[in-house]
Amino acid sequence: MIRITGLYKEYPNGVQALCDVNLEIGNGEFVVLLGPSGAGKSTLLRCINGLVRPTAGQVEVNGVQVGAENGSNLRKLRRQIGMIFQQFNLVKRLRVLDNVLCGRLAYTPLWSSCFRFFSRRDVELAKSCLERVGLIDKAYQRADQLSGGQQQRVGIARALVQQPAVLLADEPLASLDPRSSRTVMETLREINCQDHITVIVSLHDVDLAMEFARRVVGIREGSVIMDKPVSQVTRKDLEYVYDG
Ligand code: ADP
Ligand code: ADP
């Protein structure tokens, strides 16, 4: 469960990116964040994974408070939260399987990851994650030989190898064509339904949001201005989110 209370973020340049955000997201939910560019969606996702430190308020993930700095807390948290990115952020020259194995490093102390060899168990787990996203046959290809949609699915496998409770995705479709976008959303839906991983994803594409989300959160000017099950979202709600 993710509990966000009274969250504010003001960047050093004075931009108020988040203003009193309160949200509770239960285990296994599939939430899409919608809102115009600059609304604060990325900032909110980054506050959840601890990449951005809020000015005020709290984020708690399964009882662990984000930002309560201490090494082992942070690792516990990082392990629970998988991230995928707009630009995939794969290591281009590494093989697909090695990219997925990189996910195993996310919660290892740095000193040990420097010297660490992957165990047979790590490799088996990485392969099973590649199977989950339908790319086991690409395991030994270089990451940059894959299409954009395939690379994004490698990104999902790299997150899955952490065995996270939550998967955060910031505009994961932004550099994909419509067909790959759909495949990526289908992969997200599958891991949400089958592995019961909570998925929180920010999207530009309203149609895909309405098709795949179970809950839609609308954000504008740093505030949550809509929060509904997808079945109750009307065209008017969407206009309000985008045009005020
Ligand atoms: P969205 O993801 O909805 O496009 P962002 O969270 O990226 O919104 O941005 C919210 C606001 O905060 C925008 O006005 C943006 O310019 C500003 N912003 C984002 N990141 C930074 C930063 N690192 N420093 C200063 N301002 C930022
Ligand atoms: P997005 O729309 O995907 O959120 P942006 O293009 O707004 O991405 O931002 C790209 C990067 O620049 C992000 O790391 C964001 O934090 C940073 N950024 C955005 N706005 C500002 C700003 N006004 N000042 C400094 N950094 C910013």
For 11-147, where are the alpha helices, taking DSSP H only? 41-48, 71-80, 96-102, 110-115, 120-132
Ligand that comes closest to the CA of residue 39: 1
By residue count, the chain amounts to 244
SS3 letters across 215-238: EEEEEECCEEEEEEEHHHCCHHHH
Instruction: Decide the pairing of beta strands 223-229 and 215-220.
Output: antiparallel
Measured between alpha carbons, how far is 56 from 239 in angstroms, rounded to an integer?
30
pLDDT at 2: 97
Q: Is any ligand 2 atom within 6 A of the Cβ of residue 205?
A: no
* Ligand 2 center–CA 42 separation, angstroms: 9
Q: Is any ligand 1 atom within 6 A of the Cβ of residue 41?
A: yes
* Ligand 1 center–CA 16 separation, angstroms: 9
pLDDT in tens, 1-55: 999 999 999 999 999 999 999 999 999 999 999 999 999 999 999 999 888 999 9
Q: In this structure, what CATH number is given to the domain that contains residue 190? A: 3.40.50.300
Q: Is any ligand 1 atom within 6 A of the Cβ of residue 13?
A: yes
- Domain with 143, as residue range(s), is 2-242
* Ligand 1 center–CA 51 separation, angstroms: 13
pLDDT at 107: 60
Instruction: Decide the pairing of beta strands 2-10 and 215-220.
Output: unpaired
Q: How many CA atoms lie within 13 A of 230 on its CB side?
A: 16
- 54-58, 67-71, 221-225: the lowest-pLDDT one: 67-71
pLDDT at 74: 74
Structural domains of the chain, count: 1
Give the ligand 1 atom nearest the CA of 11: 25
Give the ligand 2 atom nearest the CA of 52: 16
C-alpha closest to that of 232 among 215, 208, 209, 211: 215
* Share above pLDDT 90 across residues of the chain, in percent, rounded to a whole number: 81
pLDDT in tens, 122-177: 899 999 999 999 999 999 999 999 999 999 999 999 999 999 999 999 999 999 99
Residue minimizing CA distance to atom 19 of ligand 2: 38
Q: Is any ligand 1 atom within 6 A of the Cβ of residue 220?
A: no
Burial class (CB in 10 A: 0-12, 13-18, 19+), 221: middle
Residue minimizing CA distance to atom 14 of ligand 1: 38
Which pLDDT band holds residue 63 (cuts at 50, 70, 90)?
A: confident
Q: Is any ligand 2 atom within 6 A of the Cβ of residue 194?
A: no
pLDDT in tens, 85-123: 999 999 999 999 999 998 887 666 555 555 557 788 889
